[in-house]
Amino acid sequence: MSELPPDLPRLRTLETWLVLSLDRVRRKIAEAERQETEKQRGERDRPPAPDWLIEMGLGGRAPVYVHVGGCHMAGKRSQGATRDQARRALWEQVPSCPHCSPDAALGVLD
């Protein structure tokens, strides 16, 4: 703003507008801070990713792949597994993911 109005009524109007604008900005800041706090809490409280995954077939049918935890190719039907469960699945001929090679990581090579 370069020049302010010279008369009191317009100055009061401008003041009211600025106060209302400042209130809106402060509410937005408070909301952004709440969202950031929630995001940080969610990241902090997130359970650790499983070390091994077993990907199930459609409809929860037989397992289709064993993955190393965090494998980018693991599908949505993957569930966390213990080391022993992953090894057992590989011994039972569940294929290992060709991208993350859990058979090599588990020492269960054909």
- Mind listing the pLDDT tens digit for each residue in 60-79? 789 999 999 989 999 899 99
The answer to whether 72 and 39 are in contact (CB under 8 A) is no
Structural contact between residues 89 and 66, judged by C-beta atoms closer than 8 angstroms: yes
Domain count, the chain: 2
Statement to judge: residues 32 and 56 lie in one domain: no
Residue 72 DSSP SS3: coil
> Are residue 38 and residue 7 in the same domain, yes or no?
yes
User: pLDDT tens for residues 16-61?
Assistant: 999 999 999 999 999 999 999 999 999 999 988 899 999 999 887 8
Q: The domain containing residue 100 runs over which residues?
A: 52-106
97 with 66: CB under 8 angstroms? yes
Q: Are 41 and 11 contained in the same domain?
A: yes
